[in-house]
């Protein structure tokens, strides 16, 4: 057996220590809070898939973290890959019904984005912008790069599983594509994953609690305002690539009450598009 600290062993990269699962549970899993359990596994295919498979028999507030995902995926089943312990790869189980109408659940992706961006800015000292609907952007050498993504999926019954992937210490030679980034490459003052994870989960608990208390109303919970303030997509001219080879070009002017991106087209019309309708959202140029 290869010793864990030997060359090639799981903990041989001393810049990437493992998460402290017991300390995380002690800090987060307490009576009266949202989080009811927190498990850290060394590797799995997808934390979203694992948590969704047991959603029916698991209380709300379960958190599943993987040091490495071998089949991580983003929206439309796009691959998400990163070296072990180079980021935060985790999923949470939420059950917003019956407090929140199902038609407002689409806001959970945007809520997770606001919560994550807020926590990263405060804890890592990195300005994080939101690309509608589910990307987290940082600036590396003056260029916007994707450092994270969010995937919300309906599970059995009234459950929603939200997966969050965040590149923390990825180096330039480890980036899956040139347009990717990480907190380290963006000049983060703190890349310790334990306080980062605690901060994201506490921020998520706060935003989710306010949104749920407001019956999922994005205006009353201040979520719509906060998302718009942090959304880099707004004010830009973009091309929405739609199914069937169709596309729509216009200035992104708002995120409406249903969480849709509203494009002001050249013909003067306003066209809301939902995340489910979009294959790609790119700069018009």
Q: Return the closest-CA partner of residue 181 out of 161, 196, 165.
A: 165
Mean pLDDT of 150-176: 95
pLDDT exceeding 70 applies to what percent of the chain? 92
Mean pLDDT of 38-49: 97
The larger pLDDT score, comparing residue 276 to residue 157, is at 276
First to last CA, the chain: 54
Residue 15 confidence class, pLDDT cut points 50, 70, 90: confident
pLDDT tens per residue across span 237-260 = 999 999 888 999 999 999 999 999
Cis peptide before 132 (omega within 30 of 0): no
pLDDT exceeding 90 applies to what percent of the chain? 83
Q: Answer yes or no: are the C-beta atoms of 252 and 263 closer than 8 Å.
A: yes
Q: How far is 127 from 125, CA to CA, in rounded Å?
A: 7
Q: For residue 279, what pLDDT is reported?
A: 86
Mean pLDDT (the chain) is 92
pLDDT tens per residue across span 119-157 = 999 999 999 999 999 999 999 999 999 999 999 999 987
181: pLDDT strictly greater than 70: yes
Q: For residue 217, what pLDDT is reported?
A: 98
Q: Return the closest-CA partner of residue 199 out of 138, 127, 118, 84.
A: 118
Q: For residue 285, what pLDDT is reported?
A: 72
| Inter-residue long-range contacts of 120-127, CB under 8 Å, 24+ positions, other chains counted | 120/166, 120/183, 120/196, 120/199, 120/200, 122/199, 123/190, 123/195, 123/196, 123/199, 124/183, 124/188, 124/189, 124/190, 124/191, 124/196, 125/187, 125/188, 125/189, 125/190, 126/183, 126/186, 126/187, 126/188
9: pLDDT strictly greater than 50: no
Residue 6 confidence class, pLDDT cut points 50, 70, 90: very low
7: pLDDT strictly greater than 60: no
Q: For residue 76, what pLDDT is reported?
A: 47
Q: Kindly report the backbone phi and psi dihedral angles of residue 34, in degrees, each rounded to the nearest multiple of 5, phi listed first.
A: -70, -40
Mean pLDDT of 90-112: 96
Domains of the chain and any CATH numbers: 21-229 (3.30.930.10), 234-283 (2.30.30.100)
Tokens of 184: 């380290």
Determine how β-strand 135-140 pairs with β-strand 129-131. Answer: antiparallel
pLDDT tens per residue across span 182-203 = 999 999 999 999 999 999 999 9
Burial code (b: 16+ CB inside 10 Å, e: under 16) for 135-166 equals bbbbbbeeeebbbbbbbbbebeebbbbbbbbb
Residue 13 confidence class, pLDDT cut points 50, 70, 90: low
Mean pLDDT of 25-53: 97
Q: Answer yes or no: are the C-beta atoms of 36 and 205 closer than 8 Å.
A: no
């Amino acid at each position: 057996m290869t010793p864990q600290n030997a060359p090639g062993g799981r903990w041989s990269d001393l810049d990437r220590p493992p998460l402290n699962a017991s300390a995380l549970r002690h800090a987060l899993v307490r009576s009266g809070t949202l989080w009811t359990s927190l498990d850290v596994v060394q590797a799995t295919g997808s934390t979203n898939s694992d948590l969704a498979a047991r959603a029916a028999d698991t209380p709300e507030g379960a958190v599943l973290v993987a040091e490495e995902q071998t089949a991580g995926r983003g929206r439309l089943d796009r691959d998400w890959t990163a070296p072990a312990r180079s980021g935060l790869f985790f999923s949470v189980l939420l059950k917003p019904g019956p407090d929140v109408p199902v038609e407002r659940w689409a806001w959970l992706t945007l809520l997770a984005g606001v919560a994550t961006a807020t926590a990263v800015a405060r804890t890592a000292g990195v300005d994080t912008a939101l690309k509608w609907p589910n990307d987290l952007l940082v600036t590396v050498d003056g260029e916007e790069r994707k450092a994270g993504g969010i995937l919300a999926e309906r599970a059995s019954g009234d459950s929603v599983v939200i997966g969050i992937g965040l590149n923390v210490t990825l180096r330039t030679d480890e980036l899956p594509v040139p347009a990717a980034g990480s907190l380290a490459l963006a000049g983060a003052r703190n890349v310790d994953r334990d306080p980062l994870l605690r901060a994201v989960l506490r921020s998520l608990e706060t935003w989710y609690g306010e949104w749920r208390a407001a019956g999922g109303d994005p205006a009353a919970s201040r979520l719509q305002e906060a998302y718009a303030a942090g959304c880099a997509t707004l004010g830009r001219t973009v091309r929405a690539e739609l199914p069937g080879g169709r596309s729509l070009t216009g200035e992104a002017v708002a995120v409406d009450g249903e969480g849709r991106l509203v494009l002001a087209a050249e013909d003067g019309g306003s066209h809301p598009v939902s995340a489910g309708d979009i294959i790609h959202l790119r700069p018009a140029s």
